[in-house]
Amino acid sequence: MVVWSPIDSGGCYRRQCKSVSPIESAASTSRLQLCCLPKGFFELLCRKGAGTVPVGTVKQTAVDEILGQFSLYLQQERALASGTIANYLLDARKFLVHCFKTGPIDLCKLTVAQVIESVRHLAISISRKRAKVMTSALRAFLRYARYQDLIRSNLAAGVPAIADWSVASIPKGLPPEHVKRALAACDRNSVIGRRDYAILLLLARLGLRAGEVCALQLEDIDWDAGSLTVHGKGNYSAQLPLPTDVGKAIAAYLKHGRQRSLSRFLFLKTCAPVANLNSGTIGLIVNKALARAGVSRCRKGAHQLRHALATKMLRQGASLAEIGEILGHQRPQTTAIYAKVDIASLRMLALPWPGGTR
């Protein structure tokens, strides 16, 4: 049985189903084939991210060899998503560079004190949420090292936890008038403006994550049925009816904005080399749109529009279960944070102040 839940008064719905992310299957079509270029020029383009370095052209370091085996372990044994693997490899590289910056890499010499000191050093310049991802990556790497007998003790147990209490913060969503100003600030007569307008509408009307927008492919849009397939966390997919204004914005971008490319990703960069966007670029698009609209915010990134949609639904009478279904939350506890912004319901639960109105 499939259960559909309304997004808002406009009558949009989402359903959850299991599927495989299409990112890996389309990766080969999104890369440029540059093998025919001269070696020096080819390697320059590879360093800029325009191509893939052929095997044997670049000498691997000790860190590269360890991380290469760690990557295979995460793919084959842990079956993690490609984005998660990329984050784990980045954090593991920083950890190894910090621990062995003065000598050769010898994991057998690692101690719990070194692990704790590295976590403290790496967590200074990142947010609490990002620090939790970093500690998860280090635990996975140290378990892998113990599994491969590279270390003699279970150092993963020595990775300190990051203090980040559940439901401790309040979601900071944009007010509806700020969302409208950000959308109106897009120059829809330009190529970049058409693309950015379509992206902002997907974030504001459907509550997509930045990574979900990046993963959208041309095949995910069913124009006849008026639906959109969204690939979310954990290799889950969600089918959403495509609102009329969002569909028109995407169609305008495809007709008069999207670069000609073999890539099947929906949204592409406007400058060479033509490639799909990443989550950081989506956040930058949101920040620039808010800046053009004259909206000053302490919080940055695309999640502001996701929070704005959830807050709007709550004020229109949607339940937390319906909001969680729309946002693709797999646990009710994740959606519970929005109960804090339901001021009208919370006011009914408040007890009279014993001191009166003084």
The share of the chain scoring above pLDDT 90, in percent, equals 37
Question: Of 158, 188, 215, which residue constitutes the final position of a domain?
Answer: 158
Look at residue 277 and tell me if it is in a domain: yes
Q: What's the pLDDT score for residue 7?
A: 43
Residues 283 and 271: their CA atoms lie apart, in Å, by 18
Question: Of 136, 158, 180, which residue constitutes the final position of a domain?
Answer: 158
Same-domain pairing of 132 and 246: no
pLDDT band at 239 (very low <50, low <70, confident <90, very high): confident
- Of 194, 195, 209, 231, which residue is the catalytic one? 209
Residues 211 and 53: their CA atoms lie apart, in Å, by 26
Look at residue 30 and tell me if it is in a domain: no
306 is catalytic: yes
Amino acid at 352: P
Same-domain pairing of 68 and 154: yes
Q: How many domains does the chain have?
A: 2
Same-domain pairing of 218 and 321: yes
Q: What is the Cα 155 distance to its own chain's centre?
A: 29
Beta partners for 5? 14
Same-domain pairing of 230 and 146: no
Same-domain pairing of 215 and 288: yes
Question: Of 123, 158, 193, which residue constitutes the final position of a domain?
Answer: 158
Q: What is the pLDDT of residues 34-44, one digit of tens each?
A: 444 454 555 55
233 is catalytic: yes
329 is catalytic: yes
* Residue whose tokens read 């007709």: 255
Look at residue 38 and tell me if it is in a domain: no
Same-domain pairing of 176 and 319: yes
4 CB-near residues (< 8 Å, 6+ apart): 13, 14, 15
pLDDT band at 305 (very low <50, low <70, confident <90, very high): confident
255 is catalytic: no
Instruction: Please give the mean pLDDT across all residues of the chain.
Output: 77
Same-domain pairing of 232 and 335: yes
How many angstroms separate the first and last alpha carbons of the chain? 56
CATH number at residue 64: 1.10.150
Same-domain pairing of 76 and 12: no
Q: What is the pLDDT of residues 108-144, one digit of tens each?
A: 889 999 999 999 999 988 888 889 999 999 999 999 9
The boundaries of the domain holding residue 182 are 5-18+170-347
- Of 14, 195, 306, 312, which residue is the catalytic one? 306
Asked if the model's pLDDT at residue 4 lies above 60, the reply is no
Same-domain pairing of 132 and 63: yes
Q: What's the pLDDT score for residue 19?
A: 44
Same-domain pairing of 292 and 181: yes
Residues 88 and 174: their CA atoms lie apart, in Å, by 31
- Of 88, 144, 253, 338, which residue is the catalytic one? 338
Asked if the model's pLDDT at residue 25 lies above 60, the reply is no
Same-domain pairing of 256 and 330: yes
- Of 14, 195, 205, 303, which residue is the catalytic one? 303
Residue 201 near residue 309, CB atoms below 8 Å: no
* Residue whose tokens read 């829809």: 188
**Which residue pairs, CB below 8 angstroms and at least 24 apart, start in 278-287?**
278/214, 279/210, 279/211, 279/214, 281/214, 282/199, 282/203, 282/210, 282/213, 282/214, 283/210, 285/196, 285/199, 285/200, 286/182, 286/200, 286/203
- Of 233, 288, 292, 297, which residue is the catalytic one? 233
Residues 274 and 308: their CA atoms lie apart, in Å, by 31
CATH number at residue 304: 1.10.443.10
Residues 92 and 64: their CA atoms lie apart, in Å, by 11
Same-domain pairing of 175 and 316: yes
